[in-house]
Structure 1
Amino acid sequence: MRSENSHLLVVGSGIAGLYGALLAAESGMRVTLLTKGALAQSNTHHAQGGICAVLGPDDAAPGDTVQAHIADTLVAGAGQCDPEAVRILCSEAAADIAALERFGVVFDRNLATGKRALGLEGAHSAARILHAGGDATGAVIADGLIAAVRDAAGLGLITVLEHCFVTELLGTDAALDGMHDAGTSHRAAIAGLAYLNAADERHTLCADAVLLASGGAGQLFEFTTNPAVATGDGVALAWRAGATVGDLEYFQFHPTALAVGSNFLISEAVRGAGAVLRDGAGERFMPRYHPEGDLAPRDVVSRSIAAHLAATGQDTVYLDATGVEEAQGPGYLARRFPTIDAATAALGFDWSRQWLPVAPAAHYWMGGIATDLDGRSSLPGLYAAGEAACTGVHGANRLASNSLLEGLVFGRRAVADFVAAAAAGTSHWPTLPIVPRTLPGGELSGGTVPESAVTRAELSRSELRHLLSSQAGVVRDAAGLRQAATALAGALPEAQGTRRKEAEDNNLRLVAHLLVQAALVRENSVGAHYRSDFPQPPVPVPSGPARDSHFWFNPAPTLTPAQPQRESETV
């Protein structure tokens, strides 16, 4: 790696990508930030509840500690977290919160004390959720970081390429010799990427490293809180290039999305403030299913809603926040949750007086590109951070408001590793301490169809989303997963696609197949992965089972060598 002005390509404009790009630019690196939409189109911008951190002794909630945050994260993750990754996340949180404020992000303050206001959410043992703009935390954070990125771009420190869809990771010439380490995935180095601009014209960029921070894949499902851009592109790119992926079966469903309109998220902070779930008969049913009731971990609440509807024959449940308004006084909900208040009012609800119909919706993918504690993937030159990555922090179920924090902490650690390597002039890239396996569904490089797929059938995006929702959603079983696997195997693309919509659909089909195959392999129920044919006790053991993450690699990667760029092609 070059020691001067090394070039980092950052893909994605959520919290991990924006923050990483800014830190790399501050360190003197040459930075290009690409995003397939506008900078504000990200899951980060949609996040309502907040970002959790145990601040200094004078700012934390009484009795709260970093160790308590660690313990809560491990319990929510059902024993499937990497303890060291969790320790790093929680112990380094306060410093990254301070860095956010340095970049212009302003968190809400308690009017009486002047300290940062702290909220409570499900599965947290103390109030440690920082919020901004009431319930617009993600938007405030994203807008602050975007403004800082725009300023850096104006100074020539960051090149911003919006509406650019990355279609391929490019490798070094070593990609041609099939270089592998025994028992590990493909080890060719990543040296750039190819992308389509807004006119679907193909361009390439060379660089010293790529940071994939491209977000999640909520568009796999019919009901999702994710924006339209969340189509699993980063995982698809990394898989095709030969990177190891992991924990793909763990997809979290948020229990309280509005059951009308466009699945608008009702933040978990509302239940933290005292709102409760009720069925059509008015029963507050969650205490039936878990001792923590309405503040149980998200996977438990989503699964309990499904179980309760099946048991009672009802078709919907409701979120009752009227007691919060009564306890806190008139106008409290509108002041504390202005975004939710406006959205529900636009749909004709007065949630200070009415219950809101809610349903679980696809929200967050715990699985992704496997990385070490410094954001390094199994491919030299490829970093990953945020929802596209699998750091081991979330285990089988993400603790509320840990996602924005993960993007900060591990986005920063990835950039720090890149900067340190550039300063040392080294290209050393350690091998991940895992042994990935080949998925039983066959070679899924995007060009090879398993032999079991006798015929090829078109599968539209709406059909794919219905298939995944019905067969790989909150509750799964072998029969449904096999049905989905067969349909998806017959719909795998023969090529990556040369137009944006085609390429995006192909990414969705590929990551859908990966998720389904991983879910078939895991013949037990843990966290967000619930197999009705392998049921777990209604109240899981707090520590959960021992961690046994599954990691996978593509035995037939497709990696095009990066070509030296002409001066006119550089940015």
Structure 2
Amino acid sequence: MTPLPAGKPIPSIRWDVVVIGAGAAGLMACLELPLELNVLLINRNTSRRSSSRWAQGGIAAVTRPEDSMASHAEDTLRAGAGLCDTDAVQLLVGEAPNCVKYLEKLGMTFDREDGQLATTLEAAHSHQRVLHVQDRTGRALIDVLRERVEHRPGLLHRRGIRVTQLWVEQGRCCGVQVLDGARLHWIPSRMVVLATGGGGHLFTNSTNPRQACGEGVVLAWEAGAVIEDLEFVQFHPTALHLPQAPCFLISEAVRGEGAILKDARGVSPVAHIPGRDLAPRDKVSQALIRSMRKAGDTSILLDLTPIPRAQLVRRFPTILKRCREFGLDPLQQPIPVAPAAHYWMGGVATDLTAATSLPGLHAVGEVACTGVHGANRLASNSLMECLVFAGQLAKVTLPEEPKVAIASAWSQQKWSTGPLSGPEETAGLVLAIDQLRQLCWLAAGVDRSARDLKSGLRDLKPAIGDLWQRPLLGMMRNQPKDQCLLLEEPTRQALNLLLDLGHRQRASLLLLQSCLFRRESRGGHFRQDAPMPLSQWRCHTQIQRDKELSTRPVRS
């Protein structure tokens, strides 16, 4: 990998592949793409944050003799509530053991017991098949992949680069528009890979980092790609719930090791559910919300004391450390938790090769809807999905180089019009983002209804129209492909903030429209006014720009 100092322009060349996002899916894509290709890896953050890095629990794969791929597939299909595409599930479970061997070859050191890979049980798994590195599996995975990516020839990695829109010519994606420091310009490429993550941060209560705001879904939708199953959001039952504290995830693995849920009176809120504490996440989250609402509480208790002390200290050091930072000691007393938005099963529709409906555009990781998860993701299948489907890019065949112009000079034109009017307007936009997250939580949280969804849409639609009338956003959308604009700093800051709000608004609108369209309850989508699954809705929902919402059959 060739490092490029901050502030230095990206070389003005035609890239073979542009990969957007440096989490597990983006890094794996860079490793799997054929070595003869020149690859540009860009991610918006200058830090190393990603949802993958935050993942605690583990990676699901069959590694024990008493387990089987058929069992892993059956568990995945059952959790997905009838909407998993069987061919995608078979690809995942079949390749998962090979991925484990590949990761070990790269240098990942999974926990072991008596010389064998250690596995734990998580919700809705019939066998212990979740491999882990204590409770920091995601961090360990990212560290291993990043170290390998840094040595890939023909790859340039730039942080702090924001993709503002996809470049589409004659029905094909052939590059990206980027905000690169003060420079707004276009980068042509033969293929683009979206690996931007999910949209959990659209909600007030979320275990996701701030950048998980559905931006990749919006970029693909604006470019004309098919988006699928956005109504299915997984709410993790156990996020730490304290005033002024972040929604820190308390891994499901603690319940797999013996932790139990109970209310303030010591009564289990999940006793009536098959599987109890280890029932599928949608069922547990719904049960917790009902229990909290009935008691007038804002949280439920998670008791880790049934886990042997030495085992708890060895297995979950990150959770213990984080709880103690907020004055809690899980070794001594239960901790307050509540459901929080955690994973988006929906996303940009892809096939088994990670290709989207838009030629030239691929998607991997949480931004993609591969068909694996259906209506509800099986615990610890997501990191493996990142690896398996990114691995399909090794077989990719690129089209001929696009016949498009490249900006010939970095100082072609300056743009200083369009900054915000002052601190008050900036604060207003930041407040609008917070209010939007609250709207999503109230309208499209764990419990939904047509009334709340319609109310949210009524508030949201006018705001979107007003925002995109801004001259600065119009300038960005209509920028000539052979032009590079140099933005004054106030203008650059304004564009970033307007895009933050604009992309969140669009992602929220698509989410609410999808929730309203599916008039049943299934998996991660629960409607109070339609509380049962219906046979006519055993199908995927699709939404595409300038088209009505539609459905497609489940693939066998």
TM value normalised by structure 1: 0.81
Cα contact 1:200–1:500 (8 A) shared by 2: no
Structure 1 residues 277 and 82: CA distance shift in structure 2, 3 A? same
* CA distance in structure 1 between the aligned counterparts of 2:15 and 2:280, rounded to whole angstroms: 43
Which residue of 274, 278, 284 maps to 1:295? 278
Instruction: Report what 2:468 is aligned to.
Output: 494
User: After superposition, where does 1:85-234 map in structure 2 within 5 Å?
Assistant: 85-110=88-113, 112=114, 114-132=115-133, 134-152=134-152, 156-172=153-169, 174=170, 188-197=171-180, 199-234=181-216
Cα contact 1:191–1:210 (8 A) shared by 2: yes
Matched, 1:349 2:321: no
Segment of structure 1 superposing worse, 94-103 or 338-347 = 94-103
Which residue of 223, 243, 265 maps to 2:225? 243
SS in 2 for 1:143: helix
Which residue of 504, 511, 519 maps to 1:515? 511
1:310 offset after TM fit, Å?
2.4
Cα contact 2:468–2:502 (8 A) shared by 1: no
Residues 217-262 of structure 1: CA distance to partner in whole angstroms, max 9, x if unpaired? 1111011000111111110100000001010111110000000110
SS in 1 for 2:112: coil
1:200 offset after TM fit, Å?
4.0
Matched, 1:312 2:312: no
User: 2:80 corresponds to which letter in structure 1?
Assistant: G
Matched, 1:19 2:28: yes
1:416 offset after TM fit, Å?
2.5
* CA distance in structure 2 between the aligned counterparts of 1:303 and 1:513, rounded to whole angstroms: 23
Matched positions, count: 483
Instruction: Report what 1:45 is aligned to.
Output: 53
Cα contact 1:89–1:405 (8 A) shared by 2: yes
Matched, 1:367 2:346: yes
SS in 2 for 1:190: strand
SS in 2 for 1:203: strand
* CA distance in structure 1 between the aligned counterparts of 2:19 and 2:93, rounded to whole angstroms: 25
Instruction: Report what 2:412 is aligned to.
Output: none
* CA distance in structure 2 between the aligned counterparts of 1:208 and 1:426, rounded to whole angstroms: 6
* CA distance in structure 2 between the aligned counterparts of 1:6 and 1:506, rounded to whole angstroms: 28
Structure 2 gaps of 5+ residues are 1-13, 403-427, 477-491, 548-556
Which residue of 226, 230, 239 maps to 1:257? 239
Residues 300-355 of structure 1: CA distance to partner in whole angstroms, max 9, x if unpaired? 10001011122333332110010113xxxx33212100110100111111101110
SS in 1 for 2:513: helix
SS in 1 for 2:271: helix
* CA distance in structure 2 between the aligned counterparts of 1:509 and 1:412, rounded to whole angstroms: 32
SS in 1 for 2:104: helix
Instruction: Report what 1:283 is aligned to.
Output: 267
SS in 1 for 2:337: strand
* CA distance in structure 1 between the aligned counterparts of 2:225 and 2:395, rounded to whole angstroms: 19
Instruction: Report what 1:566 is aligned to.
Output: none
Residues 460-517 of structure 1: CA distance to partner in whole angstroms, max 9, x if unpaired? 1000001111111000001100011111101113165662222122111001000000
User: 1:346 corresponds to which letter in structure 2?
Assistant: E
* CA distance in structure 1 between the aligned counterparts of 2:297 and 2:194, rounded to whole angstroms: 43
Q: Alignment identity in percent? A: 41
Cα contact 1:104–1:145 (8 A) shared by 2: no
1:417 offset after TM fit, Å?
3.6
Cα contact 1:79–1:547 (8 A) shared by 2: yes
Residues 258-297 of structure 1: CA distance to partner in whole angstroms, max 9, x if unpaired? 0011010000000000101000001123112x11000000
User: 2:18 corresponds to which letter in structure 1?
Assistant: L
1:555 offset after TM fit, Å?
1.8
User: 2:545 corresponds to which letter in structure 1?
Assistant: N
* CA distance in structure 2 between the aligned counterparts of 1:363 and 1:212, rounded to whole angstroms: 20
Cα contact 2:38–2:155 (8 A) shared by 1: yes
Instruction: Report what 2:394 is aligned to.
Output: 416
Matched, 1:36 2:44: yes
Matched, 1:470 2:442: yes
1:546 offset after TM fit, Å?
6.8
Cα contact 1:20–1:412 (8 A) shared by 2: yes
Which residue of 76, 79, 85 maps to 2:79? 76
Which residue of 335, 352, 355 maps to 1:376? 355
1:426 offset after TM fit, Å?
11
User: 1:93 corresponds to which letter in structure 2?
Assistant: A
Cα contact 1:120–1:273 (8 A) shared by 2: yes
SS in 2 for 1:526: coil
TM value normalised by structure 2: 0.84
1:6 offset after TM fit, Å?
7.0
* CA distance in structure 2 between the aligned counterparts of 1:13 and 1:319, rounded to whole angstroms: 33
Cα contact 2:200–2:207 (8 A) shared by 1: yes
Cα contact 2:35–2:154 (8 A) shared by 1: no
SS in 2 for 1:151: coil
Cα contact 1:80–1:545 (8 A) shared by 2: no
Structure 1 residues 163 and 425: CA distance shift in structure 2, 3 A? closer
Structure 1 residues 149 and 39: CA distance shift in structure 2, 3 A? farther
Cα contact 2:40–2:156 (8 A) shared by 1: yes
TM-align CA RMSD? 2.1
1:425 offset after TM fit, Å?
6.9
* CA distance in structure 2 between the aligned counterparts of 1:310 and 1:139, rounded to whole angstroms: 35
User: 2:203 corresponds to which letter in structure 1?
Assistant: F
Residues 124-149 of structure 1: CA distance to partner in whole angstroms, max 9, x if unpaired? 000000101x0000000001111112
Cα contact 2:173–2:361 (8 A) shared by 1: yes
Which residue of 322, 328, 337 maps to 2:305? 322
Structure 1 residues 545 and 104: CA distance shift in structure 2, 3 A? farther
1:100 offset after TM fit, Å?
2.0
Structure 1 residues 545 and 48: CA distance shift in structure 2, 3 A? farther
Cα contact 1:396–1:528 (8 A) shared by 2: yes
Structure 1 residues 6 and 204: CA distance shift in structure 2, 3 A? closer
* CA distance in structure 1 between the aligned counterparts of 2:99 and 2:47, rounded to whole angstroms: 21
Which residue of 452, 464, 479 maps to 2:451? 479
* CA distance in structure 2 between the aligned counterparts of 1:103 and 1:213, rounded to whole angstroms: 21
SS in 1 for 2:145: helix
